[in-house]
Structure 1
């Protein structure tokens, strides 16, 4: 039995353990706040600290990119960490991420780095409004972002960002990335996986819908071949550059027939949760296969599938279980406003059937808890008729 240690003990580690059990893998997780190695599903069971976890593990990976650099260094020194600490750090620092994209000649939004008022003024003078400012570190789910739409708001936004950087407690100096806002048609993402020997497999592009900066719905269905090939080319360029091992997610803006990279995530990703019901091999199993140097499983779409995030709610109506092919995945978290508590996957034999079932879900779920689902489902259904 191979032993896997996941840095981070949240829902992604939990789903890795669930996927790893049939593979005869022993998956444990490091709670980075307590420095205790735990069972991701039953965290009350403790198996020592980081040092013990590294010693007992055959392979180490991460469920999130904001891991303290000293922890990454200690894990990398063991020779067991996949992907590398450099890849994980790139996912956690937008400045490193942008540098990587430029080195791969990958299309992305025009941008400038901001560490001072002079940098801020330069960014405004070289970019046209509207401009989005994103924290270089610790930015996720729409947090750490400011939008400048009119010049009159510039001073107030700069003051907010300056206070934010000053208050930062990150071990690496905090900064801001100013980006030209892109008038995109839609947001899509590609989840792919690369094995130790360089073998690559990719899932189909997934259409994403966000509510207040947080992913609310992802839909996987047959996609435009040209866009898929373009996304796969970007994935291979980045994965090869990093000598990457494991699952890597890339978020794109689609502008006409061109894809611009928004950001990358060096881990299993929220927009890939649909793979649990929509593919023969889910992203969690494929990540484990890759880091344990096992042959990769099929990433082909076996049926159109959508994922609906459950945010801030710890129950759903029982009627959800009556929707054909609907599967509820809970994360065993304490209820909190804005917290990802679980997700629902729903599938159909074809896109029309999926759209109808997604509409059925929207009719059942509380509109206050799922504010944009009804509108998304209605529009998606209209496109299939």
Structure 2
């Protein structure tokens, strides 16, 4: 079986590693160079997109912000899974909000802003504080503004207008203004849907962000009612999109209610723990769904956590002395804030996982992992 992945980053790399034992061959379309490469050795080139489409039995994607012409060519081949429309929804917050409304899924109060009149209307209709997110270009905390009171409004509008003016010409730019939600915690659900409509979901994962970027995910057994609520949302969205593959949904938890923050039509950073904490990792299950193979178990086999490595190309070797700890590097050149790799750690129970997280937090340099210690301390306190 041959699969072309749109995008040649770490997610394509981890897909290739996960499905080699299934005799699935992965090539990746590098959107920066317009070439098809080996995701494990990106200096090996196999031609352009046309050659990649010819090679593939199926085509999938590792990120949402893909040129629409590329998506159209892949969709026309009949090989693209999930569909181009599903990928576009993940890359445009306007389409995403329309989808959530159509599915009757709870999300934050919001308004689409394309003009100064829209901006002024949002200030009147929504309560402060607001978070404003680029409809097309924002991710990992980029393309976002926080408006705490109306005294900031004019400066923020000028910044947004400059953002619009500096964007790709020919595209209709906008931002989505949302009322900030006073949530108890951030959680996410990663699940798989096959071409027959069968779905399986992994346990809800508790997430912590640093400067808008995911830094820690913890997967444990979650309240059954909350898990069922999340799966109902997953099934509703996945069915509406006629989705095939892994779909991730980020939620705000407020008491016993889940509000959708955003969706990602792909394997997701908050699901990296599945490499060591589940029978079948998200990368393998994505390709199983895409290639019409039976889905693998998504059950939690042991409490697990993932720690992102951001902007650093080395960590102390001693972390590997902590039991059930696995290090995953992405083979990237170092750059501030860049996702360079991640650390997975597991325990037989939550208490053991917390102890191992504490050991890792003590070993990792505090300057580069500055919020890890207090977060782990807070997690341990939850267990006491």
TM-score by length of 1: 0.99
Q: How does 1:143-292 map to 2 (within 5 A)?
A: 143-169=142-168, 172-292=171-291
Question: How far did residue 138 of structure 1 move?
Answer: 1.3
C-alpha distance in 1 between matches for 2:378 and 2:46? 49
Write out per-residue CA displacement over residues 86-132 of structure 1, whole angstroms, 9 at most, x where no aligned residue: 00000000000000000000000010000010000000100011011
C-alpha distance in 1 between matches for 2:168 and 2:235? 35
Match of 2:86 in 1: 87
Match of 1:346 in 2: 345
Q: Secondary structure at the match of 2:123?
A: helix
Q: Where does structure 1 lack aligned partners over 5 or more consecutive residues?
A: none
Match of 1:48 in 2: 47
Match of 2:12 in 1: 13
C-alpha distance in 1 between matches for 2:223 and 2:232? 14
Match of 1:310 in 2: 309
Q: Secondary structure at the match of 2:41?
A: coil
Question: How far did residue 170 of structure 1 move?
Answer: 6.0
Q: How does 1:104-143 map to 2 (within 5 A)?
A: 104-143=103-142
Q: Secondary structure at the match of 1:361?
A: helix
Identify if the C-alpha distance between structure 1 residues 162 and 26 changes in structure 2 by more than 3 Å, giving closer, same or farther.
same
C-alpha distance in 2 between matches for 1:278 and 1:360? 19
Identify if the C-alpha distance between structure 1 residues 166 and 280 changes in structure 2 by more than 3 Å, giving closer, same or farther.
same
C-alpha distance in 2 between matches for 1:68 and 1:172? 11
Aligned length in residues = 384
Write out per-residue CA displacement over residues 316-352 of structure 1, whole angstroms, 9 at most, x where no aligned residue: 1011000110000000000000000000000000000
Write out per-residue CA displacement over residues 175-212 of structure 1, whole angstroms, 9 at most, x where no aligned residue: 10000110000000000000011111100000000000
Q: Secondary structure at the match of 1:43?
A: strand
C-alpha distance in 1 between matches for 2:207 and 2:161? 32
Q: How does 1:30-109 map to 2 (within 5 A)?
A: 30-109=29-108
TM-score by length of 2: 0.99
Identify if the C-alpha distance between structure 1 residues 171 and 216 changes in structure 2 by more than 3 Å, giving closer, same or farther.
farther
Write out per-residue CA displacement over residues 265-292 of structure 1, whole angstroms, 9 at most, x where no aligned residue: 0000000000000000000000000000
C-alpha distance in 2 between matches for 1:152 and 1:172? 30
Q: Secondary structure at the match of 1:81?
A: coil
Deviates more, 1:166-175 or 1:216-225: 166-175
Match of 1:328 in 2: 327
Write out per-residue CA displacement over residues 1-46 of structure 1, whole angstroms, 9 at most, x where no aligned residue: x000000000000000001101100001000111110010101111
Write out per-residue CA displacement over residues 44-98 of structure 1, whole angstroms, 9 at most, x where no aligned residue: 1111100000011000000000000000000000000000000000000000000
Identify if the C-alpha distance between structure 1 residues 216 and 123 changes in structure 2 by more than 3 Å, giving closer, same or farther.
same
CA RMSD of aligned residues (A): 0.6
Write out per-residue CA displacement over residues 194-231 of structure 1, whole angstroms, 9 at most, x where no aligned residue: 00111111000000000000000000000011110000
Q: Where does structure 2 lack aligned partners over 5 or more consecutive residues?
A: none
Identify if the C-alpha distance between structure 1 residues 47 and 171 changes in structure 2 by more than 3 Å, giving closer, same or farther.
farther
C-alpha distance in 1 between matches for 2:44 and 2:302? 38
C-alpha distance in 2 between matches for 1:157 and 1:70? 33
C-alpha distance in 1 between matches for 2:169 and 2:360? 41
Write out per-residue CA displacement over residues 339-385 of structure 1, whole angstroms, 9 at most, x where no aligned residue: 00000000000000000000000000001111100101111112223
C-alpha distance in 2 between matches for 1:36 and 1:24? 23
Q: Secondary structure at the match of 2:42?
A: coil
Q: Secondary structure at the match of 1:335?
A: coil
C-alpha distance in 2 between matches for 1:203 and 1:65? 21
Question: How far did residue 172 of structure 1 move?
Answer: 2.9
